[in-house]
Structure 1
Amino acid sequence: MMKCMHIYLSILGVIGFVSSEHEFERRAACPDSSMCLSQWGYCGTGPDYCGSGCQAGPCTGSGGSSGGDGTIINEQTFACAFNTIDAGTRLNRLNGLRNSGWKPTNKDEAAVFLGHVFHETDGLKTIREYCAPGCGSHYAGSWCSIQGNPNKLYYGRGWFQLSWPCNYYAAGQSLGIDLLNNPDLVEQQQDIAVKTAIWFYNANNMAAPAKQGDFAATTRIINGALECNGGPGTNNQMARVATYRRIRHCFGLGEPTRNPVC
């Protein structure tokens, strides 16, 4: 079901110094979206910066701002997670998430979900499979009683790259939209691009392990036959895991507490 390229970029925090006084440089905003602006106006990572009184960035404490609205996934954490797209595209994608109505229960769930989204969509650069439309015929088959519309193509679209007629039909039934006959809606409307991913996420019970930070279990659900247990997609899994590790830091979570490899 999942087809995509992947990119992993590590983010290195750089702290500026005022050489004449050997003090941390005060900043109006941090130059790196993975850094927090502390209550004293300094940029950095860790509890001293992201804890109590944090003013901006992926804050983890109380008394400060987390991008303006206090939610777990906000402009700051979203920018940190999706750091390879331009600001306009990123805001467009974030608004799709907001309009979908979905919010993570905790930071572990946010990191797991966005880690998979990044991997499946090349960092949200595309919500349409790169091989489309040429590869559309590859997804014409059906394992259920539903047959695809012969005039439509069912290649990967959306935040989880929804594919195949059976999945388009089931997702559409759940969302109250005829996606079997209108599959292009998944790439045309930002909120539907998100909602189809949430449909798959909920239909396959990914939330429970995600809330516990069990990335391996969620990878097994998404693409276990190919990526897990030394399968042919092992390298893809390693790229997926590297992305997840990076995005955890966007939420101030640090390294995984569970083995992220399935």
Structure 2
Amino acid sequence: MRLKRLGLGRHVRAGLVGAAVLAAAGGTLFAAGPPAMLLAADATDNPITGFTGKCIDVADANTANGTAVQLYDCNGTGAQRWSSPGDGTLRAFGKCLDIQAAGTTDGTSVWLWDCHGEANQQWVITEAHDIVNPATDRCLDVRGYDNANRTPLQIWPCTGAANQKWFDSKVESPPANDSVGDGGRGDAPAGFVVSEDQFNAMFPARNSFYTYGGLTAALGAYPGFATSGDDTTKKREAAAFLANVGHETGGLTHVTEQNTANHPHYCDPGQPNGCPAGQSAYYGRGPIQLSWNFNYRAAGDALGIDLLNNPGLVESDASVAWKTALWYWNTQSGPGTMTPHDAMTNNSGFGQTIRSINGALECDGKNPAQVQNRVANYLRFVQVLVTTPGDNLVC
């Protein structure tokens, strides 16, 4: 999304609605949900269920400058009452929603601050329910697509995702069938083909970090995963994904790469932005063992999380860890010719998922034992899910 500059410090774009759309007496701004979970069209002043069902909130109702603005359960308190006097600002407790230290980079937090009317306190509400800061051309965003209480709000490039959609309860309720674009990061799909009992059966000795809840919370990042095609295709894809991550992590027992001697080897200083977290910060983490600085950056950019500067999130937040694995599975072809998701949904077979993940080291006879371990996982998991494996199991 680009905003055209018209005059000093003023920005407009087609489809923008003035911030005065907020009720003059103050309205509650709710995060939107996916289409199936929005409020009924005739509902009024109810919390929104779906992606968050939560509100923009001033942390602990603190009125001090620098107080974090976050996501929190809607409770009707003054910490969630926002208004606009028509000058482009959004205000709570008489202070303004402000971009921290007038930052302009992706992931800069927002906070409460004395109103001064500068560019970092200017917000425009669009007809698409984005809240845009024109000076940075970025949207108000829920960090990491996380719906937990106290999740910080930040600025991020406008993606159309549900974690950037906001509604004023005093003016309107989200329409029941409004299609809120999810930018590939929508809410978790209903009817995941792997039950918690089946997940537990697949990984009886798993590390407690790898929770079923962490996995299901991450599924919304890529709603096409294990929901494409017929029931057999869905189950095969879920089994294939879990078979590969099980192999990468020793049955979900390892969160980080075990050979610490390799940890300094994953920084390519020639990549954009280098290695700001340190030479040894980009070792393998999580279900897919995400590694290298450029992969942390790419995954973070796709998910709305600053993993380049904070790679440790992949080993401290189970949902983030699962999201990075789903990012690779659904968007990266690695040394292969297709993404693992495409391999399973176009019936190319499990072997092509191996090629896309580690084909340069394992396929074409390079390490048949590793390939067979992945295949053994897959054959066991399709049995757990009561389906068939299909053809082309090896690479």
Q: TM-score, normalised by structure 2?
A: 0.45
The aligned counterpart of 1:253 is 387
**For residues 209-220 of structure 1, what are the structure 2 equivalents within 5 Å?**
209-211=343-345, 212=347, 214-220=349-355
Aligned residue type for 2:203:
F
Moved more, 158-167 or 102-111: 102-111
RMSD: 2.0
Please say if 1:201 is aligned against 2:334: no
Contact 1:99 1:191 in 2 (8 A): yes
Q: Give the superposition deviation at 1:197.
A: 0.7
The aligned counterpart of 2:357 is 222
Q: Relative CO higher for 1 or 2, CA cutoff 8 Å, sep ≥ 6?
A: 1
The aligned counterpart of 2:5 is none
The aligned counterpart of 1:112 is 240
Contact 1:81 1:250 in 2 (8 A): yes
Q: Give the superposition deviation at 1:158.
A: 1.1
Give the number of the structure whose residues are more often helix, by fraction: 1
Q: Give the superposition deviation at 1:142.
A: 5.1
- Tell me how many residue pairs correspond in the alignment: 188
Aligned residue type for 1:217:
Q
Contact 1:109 1:213 in 2 (8 A): no
Aligned residue type for 1:259:
N
1:101 partner SS = helix
Runs of 4+ in 1 over 4 A off after TM superposition: none
1:108 partner SS = helix
Map Cα deviations across residues 155-184 of structure 1 (whole Å, 9 max, x no partner): 000110000000001111111111111100
| Aligned mates of 1:163, 1:172 — CA distance in 2 | 12
Q: 1:98 aligns with which of 216, 223, 235?
A: 216
| Aligned mates of 1:93, 1:104 — CA distance in 2 | 18
The aligned counterpart of 1:177 is 305
Contact 1:112 1:213 in 2 (8 A): no
The aligned counterpart of 2:285 is 157
- Structure 2 CA distance for partners of 1:142 and 1:235, relative to 1, 3 Å: farther
Map Cα deviations across residues 42-86 of structure 1 (whole Å, 9 max, x no partner): xxxxxxxxxxxxxxxxxxxxxxxxxxx953111121012213337
The aligned counterpart of 2:127 is none
| Aligned mates of 1:260, 1:246 — CA distance in 2 | 13
Map Cα deviations across residues 192-215 of structure 1 (whole Å, 9 max, x no partner): 000001111122222121233711
Contact 1:107 1:251 in 2 (8 A): yes
**For residues 5-154 of structure 1, what are the structure 2 equivalents within 5 Å?**
71-85=192-206, 89=208, 93-102=211-220, 104-105=226-227, 106-132=234-260, 134-141=261-268, 144-149=271-276, 151=278, 153-154=281-282
2:365 partner SS = coil
Aligned residue type for 1:222:
I
Map Cα deviations across residues 93-141 of structure 1 (whole Å, 9 max, x no partner): 2111111134522101111111111111111112211123x42112122
| Aligned mates of 1:172, 1:164 — CA distance in 2 | 12
Tell me the percent identity: 39
| Aligned mates of 1:165, 1:230 — CA distance in 2 | 29
- Structure 2 CA distance for partners of 1:247 and 1:144, relative to 1, 3 Å: same
Moved more, 205-214 or 106-115: 205-214
- Structure 2 residues without counterparts, runs of 5 or longer: 1-189, 228-233, 333-338
2:289 partner SS = coil
Give the number of the structure whose residues are more often strand, by fraction: 2
